C-alpha cells in the first residue's frame, strides 16, 4: 500500500518542544536596541540554534534586526545559504579544513582563520576569492592566533592577496558571565585591544568579541561593530543573573509529552531496567514516551516533571524512548507532562534542569535530538511555519523526490 506522505499528521508521538518565536522576535529587537544602530547583531544559530531550530531562529532573528548569521561548521552554513540570499553574511566560527575553501567561496560563506598554519595552508590551496575573519586567542585557548608575531605574519602573508581577503577580526571570552570576578574577562579584552593595535585598516574590518554574556553583563560594552549572540536570542542567558539584564529578555522554550499508560503497581516491584527503583508501597506509575534517545538524559531526572500543575518524580532508569513517573493518583492517558515550562503555579526552567544535572543550560536544549518535533505557534502577521518534524519532514521530501522521479521517468 502506498503511504500518502501529504496526509500524515505533523507528528505522531505526543512529545514536542514548543518555541515561542514572538518572544524570540522581541528579544532580538531588544538586543538590537541595546547595542545601537551602528552595531551589527550576529545571530549565532549553530547546533540547530542550540536545539531551538536553526531555520526558524535564523529567519526570526533576521526579520527582527540581526544582520549576520554565525554557525560552527561549513555544513551548517551551506544549509543556511540554501535558504537565505547571498547578501546575508554568514560566518563559520569554527574550523573549516582548507581543502573545502572553494565550497565556502562558491556559497559566499566567510570562514575563520584559526591559526598562522591554517593561513599558510589556505594560501597554498585557494583558487578563488574568499573572505576570512582572523580569530585571535586572548585566553580561551581553543582557536586563534596566540601571539602578536603570528598575527603580524598573517597580515604580511595576506596583504593585498587577490583571493584570501582579510575582512574581520575577533576573539571569544571564557568568562563573560562571571559577574563576581571580572578579572579574566578584562584581561582578555585588554589583550584583544593589543591585537587590534597592529591590525591595518581596522575601521574597514568587522571587529567583534562579545557573546551574550559580554553584550549584557559587562560595563565596558565591548561591542566594536558587531556582537555575536546565541543564548540571548531565546531568553535570559542565565536565569540567576536575570536581575542584571539591561533589557527584559523572555524565555521562549518549553518541553512536553503525555502519559501513554497509567497502571497501579504493587509494593516490591521494579520500575524500568536494572535495580534502580523498587516500589515500597502500592503506587500509580505513569509511562511517558520520551527518553535519552530524545536527549532527556539520566541526569535530567532530578528536576522531575509537572503533571496537573504538580511536581512528580521520574522513577527508575530512563530508557532510550520512555520513562516512568511516580504519580500521586490515577490520571487519564493523554494527560500533559511538562519537562520544562509552566503548569498552573509551578514552573520548571531549563536552568533548574541544568543546575540539578550540573551542566550549562545550553547543554540541556542542544542535546534534544531531531526525533523531537519543534512546534512554533504562529507569530501574528508573519509567515512563520508551525511545526518542524525533522523525521516526517524528511519523509515528505523523500516522498516528493520519489514522486518527481517516477513522474519524470
Ligand atoms: C565563537 C562564538 N561566538 C559566539 C557564541 C555565542 O555565545 P552565547 O550563546 O553565549 O551568546 C559562541 C557560542 O558558543 C561561540 O562559540
Question: The whole model's pTM is what?
Answer: 0.93
- Look at ligand 1, atom 13, and give the residue with the nearest C-alpha: 230
What is the average pLDDT value for the chain, to the nearest integer?
93
Which of 27, 43, 44 has the most ligand 1 atoms within 8 A of CB, as the residue to mutate?
A: 44
Least confident span in 36-50, 303-317, 341-355, 380-394: 380-394
- State the pLDDT at residue 121: 98
- State the pLDDT at residue 93: 98
**Ligand 1 atom at shortest distance from the alpha carbon of 176:** 10
Average pLDDT over residues 168-186: 97
Q: Give the residues surrounding ligand 1 with Cβ less than 6 Å away.
A: 44, 93, 172, 211-213, 228-232, 237
Please check the confidence at residue 404 and state whether its pLDDT lies above 60.
Answer: no
Average pLDDT over residues 49-59: 96
Please check the confidence at residue 11 and state whether its pLDDT lies above 90.
Answer: no
Residue 312: CA count within 13 A, CB half-sphere: 29
Q: In angstroms, what is the span from residue 101 Cα to ligand 1's centroid?
A: 23
List pLDDT tens digits, range 16-27: 999 999 999 999
List pLDDT tens digits, range 132-155: 999 999 999 999 999 999 999 999
- State the pLDDT at residue 407: 39
Least confident span in 174-178, 222-226, 240-244, 349-353: 240-244
Confidence of residue 347 (pLDDT cuts 50, 70, 90): very high
Q: In angstroms, what is the span from residue 402 Cα to ligand 1's centroid?
A: 40
- State the pLDDT at residue 396: 62
According to DSSP, residue 221 is labeled: -
| 320 marked among binding-site residues | yes
Please check the confidence at residue 5 and state whether its pLDDT lies above 70.
Answer: no
**Ligand 1 atom at shortest distance from the alpha carbon of 94:** 1
Please check the confidence at residue 266 and state whether its pLDDT lies above 80.
Answer: yes
Q: Judge whether 17 and 41 are in contact, CB under 8 Å.
A: no
- Look at ligand 1, atom 14, and give the residue with the nearest C-alpha: 230
- Residue 372 CB burial class (10 angstroms; 0-12, 13-18, ≥19): buried
Q: In angstroms, what is the span from residue 366 Cα to ligand 1's centroid?
A: 13
Which of 135, 228, 252, 365 has the most ligand 1 atoms within 8 A of CB, as the residue to mutate?
A: 228
**Ligand 1 atom at shortest distance from the alpha carbon of 46:** 13
Q: Judge whether 320 and 298 are in contact, CB under 8 Å.
A: no
List pLDDT tens digits, range 276-331: 999 999 999 999 999 999 999 999 999 999 999 999 999 999 999 999 999 999 99
Q: Judge whether 154 and 187 are in contact, CB under 8 Å.
A: no
- Look at ligand 1, atom 5, and give the residue with the nearest C-alpha: 211
Least confident span in 202-206, 343-347, 375-379: 375-379
Which grid cell sits at 388?
518542524
Please check the confidence at residue 402 and state whether its pLDDT lies above 60.
Answer: no
Which of 24, 49, 77, 211 has the most ligand 1 atoms within 8 A of CB, as the residue to mutate?
A: 211
Confidence of residue 54 (pLDDT cuts 50, 70, 90): very high
Residues paired with 16 in a beta bridge: 256
- State the pLDDT at residue 182: 96
Q: In angstroms, what is the span from residue 306 Cα to ligand 1's centroid?
A: 31
Average pLDDT over residues 201-221: 96
Residues paired with 131 in a beta bridge: 165
Q: In angstroms, what is the span from residue 228 Cα to ligand 1's centroid?
A: 7
**Ligand 1 atom at shortest distance from the alpha carbon of 72:** 16
Query: At 350, which helix (H) or strand (E)?
Result: helix 350-357
Strands 130-135 and 109-113 come out as parallel
Compare 74 and 238 and report the one with higher pLDDT. 74
- State the pLDDT at residue 160: 87
Q: What percent of the chain has pLDDT over 70?
A: 93
Please check the confidence at residue 389 and state whether its pLDDT lies above 90.
Answer: no
Residues in the chain: 409
Which residues does the annotation mark as catalytic?
Answer: 46, 273
Q: What is the CATH number of domain 22-241?
A: 3.20.20.10
Domain regions of the chain by residue span:
1-20+252-409, 22-241
- State the pLDDT at residue 401: 46
- Look at ligand 1, atom 8, and give the residue with the nearest C-alpha: 230
Confidence of residue 89 (pLDDT cuts 50, 70, 90): very high
Architecture of domain 1-20+252-409: Beta Barrel (2.40)
Confidence of residue 397 (pLDDT cuts 50, 70, 90): low
Please check the confidence at residue 406 and state whether its pLDDT lies above 80.
Answer: no
Amino acid at each position: 500500500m502506498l503511504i500518502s506522505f501529504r496526509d500524515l499528521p505533523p507528528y505522531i508521538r505526543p512529545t514536542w518542544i514548543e518555541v515561542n518565536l514572538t518572544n524570540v522576535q522581541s528579544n532580538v529587537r531588544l538586543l538590537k536596541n541595546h547595542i545601537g544602530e551602528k552595531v551589527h547583531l550576529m545571530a549565532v544559530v549553530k547546533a540547530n540554534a542550540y536545539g531551538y531550530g536553526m531555520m526558524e531562529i535564523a529567519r526570526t532573528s533576521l526579520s527582527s534586526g540581526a544582520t549576520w548569521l554565525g554557525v560552527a561548521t561549513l555544513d551548517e552554513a551551506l544549509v543556511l545559504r540554501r535558504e537565505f540570499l547571498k547578501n546575508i553574511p554568514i560566518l563559520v566560527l569554527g574550523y573549516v579544513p582548507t581543502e573545502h575553501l572553494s565550497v565556502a567561496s562558491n556559497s559566499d560563506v566567510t570562514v575563520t582563520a584559526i591559526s598562522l598554519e591554517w593561513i599558510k595552508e589556505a594560501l597554498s590551496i585557494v583558487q578563488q576569492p574568499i573572505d576570512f575573519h582572523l580569530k585571535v586567542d586572548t585566553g580561551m585557548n581553543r582557536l586563534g592566533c596566540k601571539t602578536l608575531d603570528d598575527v603580524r605574519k598573517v597580515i604580511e602573508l595576506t596583504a593585498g592577496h587577490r583571493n584570501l581577503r582579510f575582512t574581520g577580526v575577533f576573539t571569544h571570552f571564557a568568562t563573560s558571565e562571571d559577574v563576581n570576578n571580572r578579572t579574566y574577562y578584562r584581561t582578555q579584552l585588554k589583550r584583544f585591544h593589543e591585537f587590534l593595535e597592529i591590525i591595518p585598516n581596522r575601521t574597514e574590518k568587522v571587529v567583534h568579541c562579545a557573546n551574550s554574556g559580554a553584550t549584557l553583563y559587562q560595563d565596558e560594552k565591548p561591542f566594536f561593530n558587531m556582537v555575536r549572540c546565541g543564548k540571548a536570542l531565546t531568553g535570559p542567558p542565565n536565569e540567576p543573573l536575570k536581575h542584571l539584564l539591561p533589557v527584559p529578555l523572555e524565555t521562549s522554550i518549553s518541553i512536553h509529552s503525555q502519559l501513554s499508560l497509567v497502571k497501579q503497581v504493587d509494593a516490591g516491584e521494579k520500575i524500568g531496567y536494572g535495580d534502580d527503583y523498587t516500589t515500597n508501597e502500592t503506587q500509580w506509575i505513569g509511562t511517558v514516551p520520551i527518553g535519552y534517545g530524545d536527549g532527556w538524559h539520566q541526569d535530567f531526572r532530578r528536576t522531575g516533571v509537572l503533571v496537573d500543575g504538580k511536581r512528580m518524580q521520574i522513577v527508575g532508569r530512563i530508557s532510550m524512548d520512555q520513562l516512568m513517573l511516580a504519580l500521586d493518583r490515577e490520571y487519564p492517558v493523554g494527560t500533559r507532562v511538562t519537562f520544562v515550562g509552566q503548569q498552573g503555579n509551578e514552573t520548571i526552567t531549563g536552568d533548574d534542569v541544568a543546575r540539578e544535572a550540573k551542566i550549562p543550560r545550553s547543554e540541556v536544549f542542544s542535546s534534544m535530538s531531531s526525533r523531537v518535533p519543534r512546534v512554533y505557534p504562529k507569530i501574528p502577521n508573519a509567515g512563520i511555519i508551525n511545526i518542524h518534524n525533522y523525521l516526517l519532514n524528511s519523509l515528505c521530501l523523500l516522498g516528493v523526490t520519489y514522486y518527481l522521479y517516477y513522474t519524470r521517468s
